[in-house]
Structure 1
Amino acid sequence: MALLITDECINCDVCQPECPNGAITPGAQIYEIDPHKCTECVGHFDEPQCRQVCPVDCIPLDPNHVEDQATLWAKYRRLMLAKA
């Protein structure tokens, strides 16, 4: 699954620089996660870094973007190829 930032976000700016895929960007009201770029840090870290640093715990799994580990790994490989 991709992750989702809820409206509990306080715009503290700590999650965006932690995302290795550049999936987190400022939205109109709160930060947003691009589900096409979010791999839950698969391929980079053991746990999603944005969740690790979020002081208000407002980054749950996105129920609209259900993905298994194989899909997250495939997305990671696609993103790495695009960077090369």
Structure 2
Amino acid sequence: MSKIINQIRHFFERHGFYVSSRFADKLGMRAKNVRLFFIYLSFATFGAWFAVYLTLAFLLKFKDMLYAKRTSVFDL
């Protein structure tokens, strides 16, 4: 079982890292820096979408506070 897992891991390492190596060759950079860029970019976009989510949640809560539906005229 361990041999199969190692073969799968080596396959993805050979073919998966080749993409970042090609980008690095085209840009004249090290492959390590390209990989780090993709890792940081993935964290940054996750954080950005989480911030968008929190902002929308705050705006919806704020809208509900301002435009509360009143059941009668005497609730002012």
Query: TM-score scaled by structure 2?
Result: 0.25
Query: TM-score scaled by structure 1?
Result: 0.23
Larger RCO (CA within 8 A; separation ≥ 6): 1
Higher helix share: 2
Higher strand share: 1
